[in-house]
Chain A
């Protein structure tokens, strides 16, 4: 039987944002002998979205009817529409990023939440305001955007680096380390 699939199917090279977050979370624990750790927790998509599902169905139904000519046209139209309504309606993956201190009664401090849809990027950040202000001064002008979001794996890594280097995150980690009786290696 002929193999009709594209030769490069299944060769995904893009890293999911969650993988990047989890990798970075594991590194902090190693640096502090697990006195202070980072945790990535799953948030429920529908809760963040607060979607008005009837309106979504209506919008998508209209798109499908209007672009019923070919699958390609439909996919393209849906993709364009996804950008327009995605900010509130199609964020399927939601994760909270915490700094935690296991020995302090498992205390944890949420420093940001991320949300993205099936396309993986853009990744939208819901950031601690102090951190957002600090890093927006550093990166906001470069990308000319008011809200922090990552359009690619490279941008995601860069934003995370800025977040982790922010004075507030350093303050939180140091405070928790001191209370936990440790120091950073």
Chain B
């Protein structure tokens, strides 16, 4: 079982929280965005807090994503990148090879939903290119998409084509306007609302707009159908504490005075 942690740090010095989470959940792969942490500093904190030796993946040219692993970075080499995306070939000895794509999508601060949706094809093309190169479609995409699971950039056939149903995703692809579009499975849908065991999203916003969702799931994990038998929905969690310190305030929303305004995501894959 390989354990993954993803967190948007909002440029805050949260290295001790990262290290605590890594220890608490025995994380193998740590993916950080909006991190201004010096990799050397975080490595020291990680390795002081944990019995294991973590490594920093330094070969990447994507400055927006930092990846730390419990194994040599030779096993997680980048194969395709741009300034917002890194796609890694994760190839651990004796385990199933996968592609791990990590991204920080443009935010709605500068772009509207249509702008974001029209940028998605660039991301999709990069993933498809990497899959062709790798010779398989065992891809997991993780990141702050700055879009909700129901937005057209995420669900659209010309976007990420990420659906809420395993059964539909299991059909692998759909043809729309004579174009073949591969599915992702989006397990994040089940995390909405009060009936979930944890927080109702990864990001909270209050505004005076008439239409306000308040809770958003911008940080997402999307899984290709070829990995569905290796991914258990119950292994996906939104984390609200490092075991000692809570990241949320008394009313259950991310506490920016303590940690980030995004909550971290933990998930596992049986490789």
Which chain A residues in 127-182 approach chain B with CB under 8 Å?
128-130, 171-172, 175-176, 179
Please count the residue pairs between chain A and chain B whose beta carbons lie under 8 angstroms apart in the complex.
73
Binding-face segment, A21-29, A44-52, A65-73, A74-82: A44-52
Q: How far is the CB of B152 from chain A (nearest CB, A)?
A: 7
Give the nearest-CB partner of A42 in chain B: B125
B83-110 contacts to A (CB < 8 Å): 83, 89
Interface digits, B124-146 against A, CB 8 Å rule (1 contact, 0 not)?
A: 11100100010000000000000
Q: Which residues of A contact B77 (CB under 8 A)?
A: 105, 107
Q: How far is the CB of B226 from chain A (nearest CB, A)?
A: 21
Give the complex CA separation of A110 and B78 in angstroms: 13
In the complex, whether B167 has a CB less than 8 A from a CB of chain A is no
Residue of A nearest to B129 (CB): A41
Interface of B is mostly: mixed
The answer to whether A96 has its CB under 8 Å from any CB of chain B is: yes
Residues of A within 8 A of B82 (CB): 109-111, 128
What is the CB-to-nearest-CB distance from B99 to chain A, in angstroms, rounded to a whole number?
12
Query: In the complex, what distance in Å separates the CA atom of A130 from the CA atom of B84?
Result: 11
- Interface members, chain B 39-87 (any A CB < 8 Å): 59, 61-63, 77-83
Which among A53, A110, A129 is the interface contact of B81 at CB below 8 angstroms? A110
A43 at the B interface (CB under 8 A): yes
Residues on B with beta carbons closer than 8 Å to the beta carbon of A113: 122
Query: Who on chain B is nearest to A49 by CB?
Result: B118
- Beyond the given pairs A43-B121, A49-B118, A50-B118, 15 more chain A to chain B contacts, judged by CB atoms under 8 angstroms and listed by A's residue number, are A41-B129, A44-B179, A47-B125, A47-B179, A88-B118, A105-B77, A107-B78, A107-B81, A108-B81, A110-B80, A110-B81, A110-B122, A130-B63, A130-B83, A172-B61
